[in-house]
Amino acid sequence: MKFAIVESGGKQYRAVEGTTVDVDRLAHEVGNSFDIERVLLMADGDAVSVGTPTVSGIVVSVTVVDHIKGPKVLSFKYRPKKRIRVRGGNRAHYTRLMIDFIGKPGDKPAKAEAKPKAKAEKPAKAEKEAAEKKPSTAKKSTSTKKSEKK
C-alpha cells in the first residue's frame, strides 16, 4: 500500500492513493486537479523515504471533490455569581481532496482505460439453460366455494 505524509495549511495529513482527505479550505474550484509538493514521508510497501524536511522529486496529485463544513464546535464561558454566560459556536470550512497519484512526476500512470464489458449473451444463455432444466410448476387454480347455509 502506497501512502505519504503531506503538509497543507501547516497541518500534516496521511494521504493514501484512492482515498479522500479533508484539509483546511483551499482556493481551488471543485473538479480542479493540482499537485501537493510538500511531501514529508513516502512509503511504498517496505520502501520508506523520509524527507529532511521534504522528500525531493515526489508529488501527490489530488483532485478537489467538494467544499464542506465540519461539525459544530460549541464554546461556553461561565462566571459564577456574576450572571455571565456566553455561548458561541463555530463550523470549520474544509476542502475534500481525492488522492489520485503518489510518486515521481514522470511515473504518473495514464488514466485507466475502461475495460470492455463482457457480452450480455453469456448471462442470457445461462438463464435459458436454467429455465429449461427446471420444469414449469404452474399451479392449477381450483376455487372452492363454501356452500351457503339457509
Those residues with Cβ within 8 angstroms of residue 55's Cβ, 6 or more apart along the chain or in another chain = 39, 40, 41, 42, 49
pTM: 0.64
pLDDT score, position 141: 53
pLDDT score, position 104: 86
Tens digits of pLDDT across the chain (150 residues):
889 999 999 999 999 999 999 999 999 999 999 999 899 999 988 888 898 888 988 999 999 999 999 999 999 999 999 999 999 999 999 999 999 999 888 876 655 444 445 554 555 555 656 666 655 555 555 555 555 554
